[in-house]
A and B are shown apart, each in its own frame.
Chain A
């Protein structure tokens, strides 16, 4: 290829981003992959190639159990954030007519997100506890006699916190796609005799798919990479992959943590790869 002024300019324009990605994305991942083949003792890391970390990982029933739990949390959180997120976005996009009102209500959705993630999560603990507000209220209403134990430190509380924390990540991209839907299409559907439900299923949902997909990717990666929500909301009684990694790091087992991280990364990439087969999100971007 002939080197022209344009190609040089092109390379130069791409260079800053390439350097940033190489330095802050590619290099760290390569490091993690390399370290995952090393060994560690209590206080030192032995840089020698070994498959021990992976052998242990794939040989241990705990790994499968923990990955299964991670998928369970991811799937349930995804289903619920999608249901809530879609409804909220639909309401904002199609039921609110004035743009000012739309923006105002949209900002209202984001207000809880001005506080820290951790605070929003921990606030659930006194609410759901054995002697918490939820149980006390239900008892005073006479709905239950004994406090409900499963409200806190259970899968229920973990998923509740996840849904609370991540629904906005579903609302935003779906709302964004919905706003771009040409209103003439909806009118055309109505003119051709489609009911509201038919319009939803045959027009709105297909056109909203890229937004749903982006929201799905956000929620899946956030939930699958999380460790702190699972730890606090389950009272350390449940584990997901993130907790395995954080436990290893706390105990200076960096190579073992790196191996788990590599497996998790591959898993998430495979899941996202499959999702992208269904929807072309480039259309959205």
Chain B
């Protein structure tokens, strides 16, 4: 929507709305104006769902335009084209990269209705009081700034959030149990010569290096200070181990996109590889057995959230807060959790899930009936349990968060060498 062309009347209304918004916990916007508002959101395909845009129009009245891009393109756009979006749906490690450009504005948590119910991972960093904060770019470390204009991250809850968490999950290796035929329980199996020519890793350097680190650490070859922020020496050692494996023919291919990972697994080209949870679902829905194997060393986790563009103001900013409050109020959470992701406010999502779904996806209980995805595909039969178990079993075993390193440029060059070797 063009920001030009306000009439005197609409400016008065905006003022009134802004006043209303600051005086009341729930922002109120004049119904007549709201349907003219369009918010432009972009992000990775994971949560850029057309169903969400449709539901927003229905529940809130304004239009949400969604653009899905891959994570590299998302980073580029957030860093270089601040006027091309109103809401950025980005991952926490992208936030660490993009925040210093000043293209995003911090959010006032007092305007977020369900703020208190957001899980601890995104606030104190601890899932339960006993939890240890995992390595890497943990969401709590880049989740807060000191004030509305803050450019450096705060290490505690300040009332100004950089991203409102929306979706997160714990990643591990995917395997083909029918072609492997024995239990897999450690990350070291990725480099096991038994799977020579049948392993794969993802060719996205920032995530691939983490999976490599999980393997090298599990093998006992390298002890990392922080897998999410390696030293040059650690990067060199990690790459050396994987280059050797590559030269020995361990890998069948590397994948960069979701569908490549699905095809590699479904066609039997690969039996063990880095994978994302919806890819497992996609393989399974073709009737091919595929397990998201929990491993004893723990998970590599990621999380995303909504950030507001610096240029949002007035009525659109209020609409954006409305949208965020709506996002956390349960419908989207339920939708995402029924795909196997987690919502930042699980308890509101529960109202939008059946007991069977809640038990299966969140509590790790055996399904009492068939589990279907929001789009109607069958994902599990009655009696099956989720790979990895309950929310606390899975998110409680995070070894590392997706991250961007200080030595990123060096790592990228080493990654290029690895691919070319």
Taking Cβ atoms with an 8 Å cutoff, the residues of A that contact B are 41-44, 56, 60, 62, 65-66, 69, 125-126, 129-132, 149, 152-153, 231, 234-239, 243-244, 247-248, 250-253
Contacts and interface: CB of A to CB of B under 8 A. Distances in A.
B409 interface: yes
Interface of B: 72, 75-76, 79, 97-98, 100-101, 197, 200, 203, 205, 246, 251-256, 263-264, 267-269, 404, 408-409, 412-413, 415-417, 419-421
B419 A125 contact: no
A125 B259 CA distance: 13
Given A131-B268, A231-B256, 16 more contacts: A43-B98, A60-B417, A62-B417, A65-B421, A126-B267, A130-B267, A235-B253, A236-B203, A236-B254, A237-B419, A238-B419, A247-B412, A250-B72, A251-B408, A252-B76, A253-B409
A149 B75 contact: no
B133 to A, nearest CB: 23
5 contacts: A56-B413, A65-B421, A129-B269, A130-B268, A237-B419
Contacts of A152: 269
A56 B409 CA distance: 12
A200 B79 CA distance: 60
A239 B416 contact: yes
A236 B274 CA distance: 15
B72 A42 contact: no
B79 A43 contact: yes
A234 B255 CA distance: 10
Grouping DSSP codes into helix (H, G, I), strand (E, B) and loop, the B interface class, with mixed when no group exceeds half, is: helix
Contact of A236 (B253, B267, B269, B421): B253
Which of A60, A66, A250 has the largest number of chain B CB atoms within 10 A?
A: A250
A157 to B, nearest CB: 11
A235 B101 contact: no
Given A235-B252, A236-B203, A239-B420, A252 B269 contact: no
A66 B417 CA distance: 9
B413 A42 contact: no
A134 B365 CA distance: 44
- The 8 A-B pairs at the shortest CB distance, nearest first, are namely A235-B253, A236-B254, A239-B420, A250-B72, A236-B203, A43-B79, A62-B417, A153-B253
Contacts of A125: 263
